Amino acid sequence: MQDPGSIRSGADGLTMIKITTDLSGLTKAQRFIGAYKNQLPFAAKNALNQTAYQVQQVMRQHTTQAFDQPVPFTKKGFLYTKASKTDLTAEVFTAKDRPYLNTQIFGGQRLWKTYEGLIRGLARETGNPLPSNRKIVPTAIAKNKSGNPKRRLFGEIQSRLSTSDRGGFMIGTPRGGGRMPGVYRRSRGRLVPYFLAVPNEPTYRPRFPFEKLGNDTVRRIYPTELSKALDRAISSAR
């Protein structure tokens, strides 16, 4: 039997584990391949699909180890497609609307965030555009427990922008030098940074062992699932 697991990054940006099989090498199947050959693809399909489901669950569970308090959106970022009797291939992959997972898997530069467009738009409206060659990142005070910007902040920034009252926000580069452009909040006579336009683009090291998790789970689960599926096929065909 060939190694059933492989990893690839497709042209569509999805990272996936492909789980497939070569029926010609199944020793247990030789006992009934003549009499029950029509049952064999059905058994292999069921084994592949159960294995793909188990890989998906392992991926979701591991997010709590790889990431600091991941949100449900991240935990549910792994999907799978099922095999059929005519196409004995199942795939586990990252959801297309969670491209940041690929950065966590392979490492690399931080991806564009939706909120950057909002902040840049507000900056242009106030006549203080932020440098286009810099990434806008939240500071610790702007983050929730999962490390993402607090959602309520964006409404507050929009409603209290360019105000001189205590607690209001300003976008731009503070006077006096030494401070980066960004979003600041007035508090007790000083400016507190909430978002900064950083000069060095953040890069990430690989944090999520997608390939190892997937292939290790396939090697551990698939032989057992195939054996059970073959036993069920033999029993039902009698």
What pLDDT score does 107 carry? Answer: 84
DSSP SS3 for 232 = helix
pLDDT tens sequence across 133-173: 888 989 999 988 777 888 889 999 988 887 777 789 999 99
Q: Which residues contact 235 (CB under 8 A, 6 or more apart)?
A: none
Contact 45, 19 (CB under 8 A): no
From edge to edge, which strands make up the β-sheet containing 15-20?
A: 5-9, 15-20, 89-94, 78-81
Q: pLDDT digit string (tens) for 168-227?
A: 999 999 887 789 999 999 988 889 999 999 887 667 788 899 999 999 999 999 999 988
CA distance 193 to 219: 49
Query: How high does pLDDT run on average in the chain?
Result: 83
Contacts of 209 (CB under 8 A, 6+ apart): 62, 66
Instruction: State what percent of residues in the chain have pLDDT above 90.
Output: 37
CA gap 117, 121 in Å, rounded: 6
pLDDT at 26: 56
- Residue 11 is predicted with a pLDDT of 44
